[in-house]
C-alpha cells in the first residue's frame, strides 16, 4: 500500500493546492512513484497546473489526475509509493474518509485567528472520528511578515496540535511560478534556512516518521 498524505481545510484559499504541488515536486525528485490526486473536480487546480507544467521541457514530470471520489483516486494505488491528495476548499462527507486513510493529514492555515480557529475545530473533529494527533499537522501559509509566525505558534501550542516548522511566506514569485507550472520549491534558489525549505523538510520528516510508525505496527 502506498503512503497517503492529504491536504484538508474547512476554509478555501489557505494553501492546500500550493503545498500539495510542492510536496509532489519535491518527492518526485527521488525514486518514489508519486501521484497527485486532485479531488477538487470543479477547480482542478492541480490538474490545470500539471498542463502548464507539461509545456516546460525542463520540468520533472508529475503524474496528476482529477478524481470524483477518493475511492477512484486509489484505484491503481499499487502502482505508487506516495499518493498526495488535494481536496476542495470545504469539508464534506468525504473528508473523514480521506483523513482516515491518510498517514499524514496536513491542514494549511494563515496566521489570522479567523483561519486558526476553524483549523483547530477541524482537527478536533478529526480526532473525534478516531484520527490520532500524531497523524495531524498544521502548516502555516501565506505569511505576510515573520512576526505572524509567533501568533500562530502560540495559538496552535495552546490547542495542543503540531505546527510544522517554518512557514510559507506570501510571495509574488510563488504566484508567477505556479502560473507557469512550477512548484514554489522550484521558484528560486532559496537559502537552507528559508522558511519554505524549513516547512517542506519538516513535512518530509513527518511523513517519514509516520511511514516508519506504520511499518512497526505492521
| Nearest alpha-carbon partner for 11 in 143, 167, 148, 117 | 117
82 binds ligand ATP (CB under 6 A): no
Beta bridge partners of 173: none
Strand order across the beta sheet in which 104-109 lies: 63-66, 34-38, 82-86, 3-7, 104-109, 136-140
* Residues 122-151 close enough to bind ligand ATP by CB under 6 A: 141-142
Residue from the set 1, 175, 205, 209 that interacts with ligand ATP by CB under 6 A: 175
CB atoms inside a 10 Å sphere around CB 120: 19
The region of 27-35, 96-104, 121-129, 166-174 touching ligand ATP under the rule CB under 6 A is: 166-174
Rounded (5°) CA angle 166-140-150: 70
| Shortest Å, Cβ 20 to Mg ion | 8
CA 159 to chain centre: 21
194 interface partner picked from Mg ion, ligand ATP, none, CB below 5 to 8 A per type: none
13 interface partner picked from Mg ion, ligand ATP, none, CB below 5 to 8 A per type: ligand ATP
The region of 16-24, 93-101, 135-143, 160-168 touching Mg ion under the rule CB under 5 A is: 16-24
Q: Where are the beta strands (DSSP E) in 8-92?
A: 34-38, 63-66, 82-86
The rounded distance, in Å, linking the Cα atoms of 3 and 68 is 20
Provide, for the chain, the percentages of residues in helix, strand and coil under a 3-state DSSP scheme, each rounded to the nearest 5. Answer: 45, 15, 40
168 binds ligand ATP (CB under 6 A): yes
By beta-carbon proximity to ligand ATP, the closer residue of 34 and 40 is: 40
Residue from the set 6, 10, 28, 45 that interacts with ligand ATP by CB under 6 A: 45
By beta-carbon proximity to Mg ion, the closer residue of 50 and 165 is: 50
Could you list the residues that contact ligand ATP (CB under 6 A)?
Answer: 9, 12-18, 40, 43, 45, 89, 141-142, 168, 170-171, 174-175, 178
Could you list the residues that contact Mg ion (CB under 5 A)?
Answer: 16-17, 45
Amino acid at each position: 500500500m502506498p503512503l497517503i498524505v492529504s491536504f484538508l481545510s474547512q476554509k478555501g484559499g489557505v494553501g492546500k493546492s500550493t503545498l500539495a504541488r510542492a510536496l509532489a515536486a519535491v518527492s518526485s525528485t527521488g525514486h518514489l512513484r508519486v501521484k497527485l490526486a486532485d479531488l477538487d473536480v470543479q477547480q482542478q487546480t492541480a490538474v490545470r497546473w500539471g498542463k502548464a507544467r507539461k509545456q516546460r521541457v525542463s520540468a520533472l514530470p508529475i503524474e496528476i489526475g482529477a478524481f470524483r471520489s477518493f475511492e477512484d483516486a486509489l484505484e491503481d494505488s499499487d502502482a505508487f509509493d506516495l499518493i498526495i491528495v488535494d481536496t476542495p476548499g470545504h469539508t464534506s462527507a468525504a473528508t473523514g474518509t480521506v483523513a482516515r486513510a491518510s498517514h499524514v493529514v496536513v491542514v494549511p492555515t494563515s496566521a489570522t485567528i479567523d483561519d486558526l480557529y476553524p483549523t483547530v475545530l477541524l482537527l478536533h473533529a478529526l480526532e473525534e472520528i478516531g484520527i490520532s494527533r500524531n497523524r495531524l499537522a498544521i502548516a502555516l501559509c501565506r505569511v505576510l511578515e515573520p512576526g505572524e509566525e509567533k501568533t500562530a505558534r502560540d495559538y496552535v501550542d495552546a490547542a495542543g496540535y503540531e505546527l510544522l516548522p517554518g512557514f510559507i511566506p506570501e510571495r509574488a514569485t510563488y504566484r508567477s511560478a505556479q502560473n507557469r507550472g512550477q512548484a514554489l520549491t522550484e521558484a528560486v534558489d532559496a537559502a537552507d534556512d528559508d522558511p519554505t525549505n524549513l516547512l517542506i523538510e519538516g513535512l518530509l520528516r513527518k511523513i517519514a516518521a509516520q511511514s516508519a510508525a506504520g511499518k512497526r505496527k505492521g
